[in-house]
Chain A
Amino acid sequence: MNILETFNLSVEFKARQGLLGSVRVQALENVSIALSRGESLAIVGESGSGKTTLARACLLLIKSSSGSILFDGAELSGASEKNLIDFRRKTQAIFQDPYSSLDSYMTIGQIVEEPLIIHQIKDATTRRLSAENALEEVRLSPSNDFYPKFPHMLSGGQRQRVAIARALVLGPDLIIADEPVSMVDASSRTEILYLMRELQEKHNTAFIYITHDIATAYHFSDRIAVMYAGHIVETGPTKKVISNPLHPYTRALVEAVPQPDPSNRFRKRATIHGEPPSAVNPPSGCRFHPRCPNAFEGCDSNNPSLIEIRNNHEVACHLWKKFDGESHLPKTIAGSK
């Protein structure tokens, strides 16, 4: 059974505009994801595409406007905080900013013990043991040294490790990490990603790894979902999606990744032209059409939905279905099929 599943999840915000007016922002529209136990899913997309909103909705930190969220088969959307206690214990989150997600007035020990206190682990010795164990697991060692420290005495990377330790300490079934290394200094990014991957495999924890960097997704996830303007535009096994992107947007993302292979140095790289879509006033039809190099007539009026092209590899693009009775597949993509 899937540990987490969303079905047609939509989230709408009311944003203030002017003095009295408010506009609706459709941050997420009909998003369906599924995650089995121990599986790692990467959510990739540029800033503003709705990744954080998806994370917050899955964590039940915000109300979704429609759709459902199933955790271990139980419907959670609309549940009261009282009925979420079990979910809160089994699902943990790692946030983007290690500077603000940890309480600067608490010691590292207090921070890592907090989930245990909240979830009624009354025995102080047990709490201390679990917390020290978690700190050792994230290689904040010797944990005794870190215990009495305050977050401001630690580097960004170390703080994020504290956040990971806090997420691990209850032995969760699912961890949702929202851009966990984007605010950490570049030198410790890979290390933290490897650490998370290692811990995820060791504990067989399901993992949602949110990132704007498709290259890291390649190394740290089993499956990937690419988001654009609140929609999932392509999803499938990470290796397949990245080696053979079907959606023009994914293709652009992949090609924008600098290649270490020198023979690729002069290869013409696709860049994404134009502005990212406005969430208040999104483009009609396919949200990507104003920037899409392959757009054709009809793209601006019909929003494509996800269709399975190959085993588990789905894409939402009109190129991949018969349109007007005529195939519009560009040669490169058509050829690779």
Chain B
Amino acid sequence: MDTKDILTIMLRSGSGKAGVALLLGIVIISVTVVFLFPMDFGSKRWNNPAAWADNPKSVPPFWVGLFMGNNSIAHKVFEVSPQETQANLVQNYSFHYEYNSGKSPTFTTLSFTDVTFHNRPPLLELNVVRPDGREIVLYQQVLRGARPGESSPYKRFEETPLRVFLTSETETLISLVSFLEAEFDVKTNPEALSGLVEQVVFGQPSHQGNLEFVPLNGQYDFQILSYMNHPSDSVGSLKLVLGGNSFGFMGTDSAGRDLALGLLFGFPIALIIGLTTSVFATVIGSTLGIISGFKGNKTDIIIQRFSDIWSNVPLLPILIFLIFILGQKLWIVVIIMILFGWPGLTIVVRSMVLQIRTGQLVESTKALGASNSRIMFRHILFQIAPFVLAQMIFFTPAAILAEAGLSFLGLGDPSIPTWGQILESGFRTGAVYLGYWWWIMPPGVLIVITAMAFVLIALALEPAINPKLRVEK
């Protein structure tokens, strides 16, 4: 029986087909993610609150919005990229927003990046013309001028944008107070309007003079103006965000993180954890097993006693203990799993080698004058390779599940998002009680599916290479 036969036998069974199909999908996604995602996605993006500031928090996926009818409000982002040449001293950008929903946007933010000016700072303004023809100036701001010791040209907001959260911006509230008084004869004050910014902008009072608003559907024309004082002053980019109550393919968590991205990044990480652990544990386990079985005598006794003891050390408490001491690093978790993962295989491989050792293959090779290492790693290893490979596949999900378990206990590596960590943060922030199923279920399901892919393949391999069912001649 060679590797080809084993493949055929495996693919003949339903579980083998399903496992291979699942694994193929997982691998394709992982490879794509590795190419498309930056390597420092974890620290630079996932765990950087600023990267997610413009997203709605704890909202379900967009496709859930499709079922919410009039109660759904889509997330809307308007963005203008930098422009090199400035013809005018007044720059004017406008966005059209078609609003038709029973809910008003959940929040409004405006961001500027890369502002350059030469003598006096520019004035920035955001206004909106509503479907009823009324105009509101939502924001007006002169940037800070030159600081002592600074020389022209002055640059602002190069790294971090100026982000204005209009929903609670005092200036906006003041502007809305005067808008309401002038247009609807409603007398109020900024404090009373806090939290109502979007309702005011995108609606009208239900009764004259009261603070209840009904949505006003139709086209809203937003306009951003920057008044410059020098021909080479410039604003890099502008972004207006109208928060929705659903987001992306998989929704967001309580920090506004796009769960789809975190889940995608989890694919290659799960594979890397699983495969690295299983490959190294298998290499150590089979090497020691071969040496133990082939050398016999004292070497055998020492290796066997050591594996017996080692395999009885409970892994989880050790992992928790060592992570507390060494820190929450993914590679430490992987190394510990490798160090404690090999003994079972050593014991099985040894028993297989004992059988092979007495066979004519070993004897005939020895008679040729082959060295022990040649016999062990050129001949015996190949005889047990199919079995070892199956063990490797079997061990992979165990490593993935162990990492998920650790992450779930809050011992994951914070710089690398994994499915276990997404699950854990969901539990920690009470996603279960709040009914944020999109936060809890997908990572759990993905862990199970990935583990299952490997288990299915291993099950399909079983009849082909189980040492009990098949003894290598």
Residues of A within 8 A of B (CB): 56, 59, 61, 84-85, 88-89, 91-93, 95-97, 99-106, 114-115, 118-119, 150, 152, 163, 166
- Given A118-B374, A150-B2, A152-B2: A102 and B369 within 8 A (CB)? no
Docked Cα-Cα span, A152 to B1, in Å, equals 9
* B152 on interface, CB distance cutoff 8 Å: no
A-B contact pairs, 11 of them (CB 8 A): A61-B366, A85-B369, A95-B360, A95-B363, A95-B364, A97-B360, A101-B360, A102-B361, A104-B473, A119-B369, A152-B2
Docked Cα-Cα span, A106 to B382, in Å, equals 9
Indicate the member of B368, B383, B385 with the most A CB atoms within 10 Å.
B368
Contact of A84 among B359, B360, B361, B369 (CB under 8 A): B369
Interface size counted on chain B using CB atoms at 8 A: 19
* B29 on interface, CB distance cutoff 8 Å: no
Chain B residues lying within 8 Å of A61, measured Cβ to Cβ, are 363, 366-367
Docked Cα-Cα span, A56 to B360, in Å, equals 11
Closest A residue by C-beta to B472: A104
Chain B residues lying within 8 Å of A96, measured Cβ to Cβ, are 360
Contact indicator B361/A100 (Cβ below 8 Å): yes
Chain B residues lying within 8 Å of A85, measured Cβ to Cβ, are 369
Docked Cα-Cα span, A97 to B385, in Å, equals 22
Indicate the member of B2, B364, B365 with the most A CB atoms within 10 Å.
B364
Chain A residues lying within 8 Å of B369, measured Cβ to Cβ, are 84-85, 88-89, 115, 118-119
Contact indicator B359/A100 (Cβ below 8 Å): yes
- Given A95-B364, A100-B473: A118 and B379 within 8 A (CB)? no
Chain B residues lying within 8 Å of A106, measured Cβ to Cβ, are 382
* B164 on interface, CB distance cutoff 8 Å: no
- Given A100-B473, A152-B2: A115 and B360 within 8 A (CB)? no
**Top 9 A-B pairs, shortest CB-CB distance:** A88-B369, A105-B382, A101-B360, A101-B364, A93-B367, A100-B360, A95-B360, A115-B368, A100-B473
Contact indicator B363/A114 (Cβ below 8 Å): no
* B370 on interface, CB distance cutoff 8 Å: yes
Chain A residues lying within 8 Å of B374, measured Cβ to Cβ, are 118
Chain B residues lying within 8 Å of A93, measured Cβ to Cβ, are 364, 367
Q: Chain A nearest CB: distance from B404 CB in Å? A: 37
Docked Cα-Cα span, A93 to B371, in Å, equals 17
Docked Cα-Cα span, A211 to B369, in Å, equals 25
Residues of B within 8 A of A (CB): 2, 359-361, 363-371, 374, 379, 382-383, 385, 473
Contact indicator B2/A118 (Cβ below 8 Å): no
Q: Chain B nearest CB: distance from A166 CB in Å? A: 8
Indicate the member of B359, B367, B374 with the most A CB atoms within 10 Å.
B367
Docked Cα-Cα span, A99 to B366, in Å, equals 17
Chain A residues lying within 8 Å of B382, measured Cβ to Cβ, are 103, 105-106
Contact indicator B367/A88 (Cβ below 8 Å): yes
- Given A118-B368, A119-B369, A150-B2: A103 and B360 within 8 A (CB)? no
Docked Cα-Cα span, A182 to B364, in Å, equals 17
- Given A97-B360, A103-B361, A118-B374: A92 and B2 within 8 A (CB)? no
Docked Cα-Cα span, A119 to B379, in Å, equals 17
Docked Cα-Cα span, A96 to B370, in Å, equals 20
Chain B residues lying within 8 Å of A103, measured Cβ to Cβ, are 361, 365, 379, 382-383
Closest A residue by C-beta to B381: A105
Q: Chain B nearest CB: distance from A299 CB in Å? A: 36
Contact of A104 among B2, B360, B363, B365 (CB under 8 A): B2
Docked Cα-Cα span, A114 to B2, in Å, equals 20
Docked Cα-Cα span, A152 to B359, in Å, equals 17
Q: Chain B nearest CB: distance from A276 CB in Å? A: 22
Q: Chain A nearest CB: distance from B358 CB in Å? A: 11
Docked Cα-Cα span, A97 to B361, in Å, equals 9
Docked Cα-Cα span, A105 to B380, in Å, equals 10
Contact indicator B367/A59 (Cβ below 8 Å): yes
Q: Chain B nearest CB: distance from A63 CB in Å? A: 13
Q: Chain B nearest CB: distance from A310 CB in Å? A: 36
Indicate the member of A88, A97, A101, A152 with the most B CB atoms within 10 Å.
A101
